[in-house]
Amino acid sequence: MTESGKTYSDPISYAAPRSLDEAAELMRGGNVTVLAGGSDLMPQTQAGRMHFQPVLMNIRRVPELQGLVEEGGVVRIGALVTITELLESALVRERLNLLWQSCDHFASDQIRNVATVGGNLCNASPAGDTLVPLLALDARVVLAAKPNGTLQTRRVPLAEFLLGPGRTCRAPAELLTAVEVPLPPAGFAGEFYKHGTRPGLDIAAISIAAGARRDGALLRDVRVAFGAVAPTVIRAPRTEAVLEGHVPDAAALEAAVQTALKEVHPISDVRASDWYRRELIRNMLMRILTHVCQL
């Protein structure tokens, strides 16, 4: 919406900035629609579910939004990094394997080649595939703006960034520049599971990312996150607490599953009923936790 409250079925002008500074300058008025891969934006605008701001800004020529690098124990993934690039990255495959697995379940090659991690985050779908592992891995997003004419950035934990379906705390004048993911501790192993109505090329009816590391007989650094069972992707802190520092015997795993069922709040929609989603959580979380304990 513009200051006068207007949005448009077609944008009035098009911009393709070549630097972050230029992009942030264009966004100062807050009347810009950001275009990355367009795989959410274009279907949503064509279906009338979303309307353009007066300026359509293609960010694909902004070099500061590219790149995937590890520094000081944190992996910085530029907003424009595509799902294909994540899949091809040895760093992601070896050190952020939960994220890698989610990309391996993401859409088709054609969509993976254009879909960016920044677009997946800003679209804020409760079923967004990369959001679930990124939440489990304690990721934070980096937002940039030029409120007083100088470029400023702020970092927001992903759990605070996501407010509801399609809603984030990103201000209209802010651009998401990157997502930062702390490397999980050595020995951390996890598994991502996605269930759709078809075995492939489907939006998740539920998704789960769970992981931990073994410390002798005990589990440490337990992480459990779910997609498509609440208005945003969610962490399950009470489920994690049931397992943290405990021997993962059958009773502990069953207690974790029962706790998880109290932490999720699925709805019934075109993809699955509330009942079916709960059954999937019950069965698949048990299977994943059992696998994680064997890794």
Ligand X SMILES: Cc1cc2nc3c(=O)[nH]c(=O)nc-3n(C[C@H](O)[C@H](O)[C@H](O)COP(=O)(O)OP(=O)(O)OC[C@H]3O[C@@H](n4cnc5c(N)ncnc54)[C@H](O)[C@@H]3O)c2cc1C
Using the rule CB under 6 A, is 41 a contact of ligand X? yes
Using the rule CB under 6 A, is 31 a contact of ligand X? no
Least distance between ligand X and beta carbon 242 (Å): 28
Using the rule CB under 6 A, is 67 a contact of ligand X? no
Distance CA 265, CA 277 (A): 10
Looking at the Cβ atoms of 47 and 250, the one nearer to ligand X is 47
Distance CA 266, CA 281 (A): 10
Count of residues in contact with ligand X, rule CB under 6 A: 28
Q: What is the dihedral of CA 188, 105, 80, 236, to 10 degrees?
A: -50
Candidate list 2, 16, 30, 38; residue touching ligand X; CB under 6 A? 38
Closest CA to 95 of 230, 190, 202: 190
Looking at the Cβ atoms of 194 and 213, the one nearer to ligand X is 194
Strands across the sheet containing 32-35: 13-15, 55-58, 32-35
Using the rule CB under 6 A, is 99 a contact of ligand X? no
Using the rule CB under 6 A, is 33 a contact of ligand X? yes
Contact 108, 84 (CB under 8 A): no
Contacts of 198 (CB under 8 A, 6+ apart): none
Query: Which amino acid is residue 182, in one-letter code?
Result: P
Least distance between ligand X and beta carbon 16 (Å): 13
Stretch that binds ligand X, among 14-22, 107-115, 183-191, 216-224 (CB under 6 A): 107-115
Contact 169, 160 (CB under 8 A): yes
Stretch that binds ligand X, among 114-122, 153-161, 211-219, 251-259 (CB under 6 A): 114-122
E strands, 36-151, are 55-58, 68-71, 74-78, 140-145
Residue 109: phi and psi, rounded to 5, are -55, -40
Distance CA 37, CA 61 (A): 12
Using the rule CB under 6 A, is 101 a contact of ligand X? no
Using the rule CB under 6 A, is 253 a contact of ligand X? no
Least distance between ligand X and beta carbon 37 (Å): 3
Closest CA to 99 of 71, 68, 124, 64: 68
Stretch that binds ligand X, among 2-10, 40-48, 234-242, 256-264 (CB under 6 A): 40-48
Stretch that binds ligand X, among 7-15, 33-41, 247-255, 282-290 (CB under 6 A): 33-41
Using the rule CB under 6 A, is 115 a contact of ligand X? yes
Using the rule CB under 6 A, is 40 a contact of ligand X? yes
Using the rule CB under 6 A, is 227 a contact of ligand X? no
Task: Please give the residue ranges that form the binding site for ligand X (CB under 6 A).
Answer: 33-41, 43, 59, 79, 106-107, 111, 114-116, 118-120, 122-123, 128-129, 175-176, 203
